[in-house]
Amino acid sequence: MMNLYTSRGASTYVLWNIGLIFIVSLGCIVVWNVVGTSSSINNGNGSDTLELFADQFPSLEETLWMAKLSKSAYEFRHEDKDFCKKYKPSDGTRCEWYDHNKRLGTQVLIVSNKVQKYIAVAFAGTDDIRTSLEDAHATQKPFGNNSTISLPEGIRVHSGFDNAVFLQGMWEQISSRIKRLVIAHPSYRIYSTGHSLGAANSLLTAAALSLQGHKVKSINFGCPQTGNKPWSEFFNRTSPTKDKLAIWRIVLGWDLVPRLPDFFYHAGHTIQLWKNSTNVTSVESYFEHYGNEELHYAGAPPGWNAKPHFIGPDDLTSHFMTKYIEHLEELNSVDSTWVHEFKKSDDPPPPPPIDYDDDVFNDDLRDDWYPKEA
């Protein structure tokens, strides 16, 4: 009996130690994963803070993916209803669903990509962009469908953008298809993208998907201002979706649409593509568009929102989706540095241009440096 007791005691002792080693090892693994997989951003004060998903820059490669997908969304409008089934580009993209609701003016494309392992929702813009954005009486309404998707009281968005996503069962179709695709491809990333008014639709869609628990990166092009100040501040500073939603709005030069409509605000970060005096595209990024004094990040410079008194055809030249792709491909083809950090509030301004002066009443050299697109 003594030997049996000793044997059992020894076995218990060995098992207890193995268990302790396993627990300690597991703890180390957990700690390593928490620390090792977290990246950081410098807040300008010399101290680092954990980087949120919302602040992780998109690569130039994935930005180009989304730019080309946004262009593809336009191409579907001229095809028959079976084009989605026949759409098989060589990059591994598969059309999962396309719909053009002519009453809402909504054109939405959902794809998956087996090579790059992503799911994406892309919106095309509409033909009546000037009418929509020049409307001085553009109304605001609560975000969402007032039932399953909503935000705190006081938050308002452009009613036209919201209607395009949430009326006539559009949101239910998008949401259900994304849910099925996520079940089929649980490791795939989720993107939303679009151009012009489609960019606004993609931003609202990304916000709604994140509120459902999906992790979504929205990379859009020429996006107009989408909501009131509480809307902007909810997603820029106090959002509970910071680990689920990343909004990156790409703006080319003096594209007029991102400066419209009046009395609305942007949500998310701005990546600005400028043409400098040597005709080379340079890139800057403005934290949450308006900057953050506490983190020492600069917002879009004074005069960024300037626009002409009358909108003519030439004012929309920089807005073409083909122009966005052209500039992104230029960056991709040369030894250029894609943006990886936000512009600091204490960064010196770029050198002044040759032929642009935005002064109206006096000659103020402080705001004459903005590059004009060649």
Encode pLDDT of 215-240 as tens digits: 999 999 999 999 999 999 998 766 88
Q: Is 334 a residue whose pLDDT tops 90?
A: no
Query: Scanning the structure block, which residue is given the tokens 């869609």?
Result: 205
Q: What is the mean pLDDT of residues 153-164?
A: 94
Contacts of 142 (CB under 8 A, 6+ apart): 150, 151, 153, 155, 156, 157
Q: Is residue 252 included in any domain, yes or no?
A: yes
pLDDT at 182: 99
> Which CATH number belongs to the domain containing residue 70 in this structure?
3.40.50.1820
Q: pLDDT-derived band of residue 9, with 50, 70 and 90 as boundaries?
A: very low
Does the residue 59 lie in any domain?
Answer: yes
Give 81's pLDDT tier (boundaries 50, 70, 90): confident
Higher pLDDT, 173 or 361: 173
Residue 333 lies in a domain: yes
The answer to which of 19-33, 161-175, 284-298 has the lowest mean pLDDT is 19-33
* Residues, the chain: 374
Number of domains in the chain: 1
- Is 74 domain-assigned? yes
φ/ψ of 53, rounded to 5, equals -55, -35
In this predicted structure, what is the pLDDT of residue 350?
A: 55
Per-residue pLDDT band for 26 (boundaries 50, 70, 90) equals: very low
Residue 78: pLDDT band with limits 50, 70, 90: confident
Give the whole-number percent of the chain exceeding pLDDT 70.
72
Is the residue at 17 inside a domain? no
Assigned domain for 270 exists? yes
Instruction: Name the band, by pLDDT with cuts 50, 70 and 90, for residue 131.
Output: low
Can you say how many angstroms the Cα of residue 69 is from the centroid of all Cα atoms in its chain?
14
- Residues whose CB is less than 8 angstroms from the CB of residue 272 and which lie 6 or more positions away in sequence, other chains included: 251, 283, 284, 285, 286, 300
* Average pLDDT value over all residues in the chain: 80
Band (118; pLDDT cuts 50, 70, 90): very high
Strand partners, 100: 107
Q: Is residue 45 part of a domain?
A: no
Q: Which spans in the chain are helix H?
A: 2-36, 60-75, 83-86, 129-134, 159-166, 170-184, 197-211, 229-236, 321-333
pLDDT of residue 346: 80
Which pLDDT tens digit goes with each residue over 61-75? 999 999 999 999 999
At residue 153, does pLDDT exceed 60? yes
Domain of residue 346 covers: 52-367
Q: Which backbone phi and psi does 20 adopt, to 5 degrees?
A: -65, -45
236: in domain: yes
Q: For the residues 115-134, what does the mean pLDDT come to?
A: 82
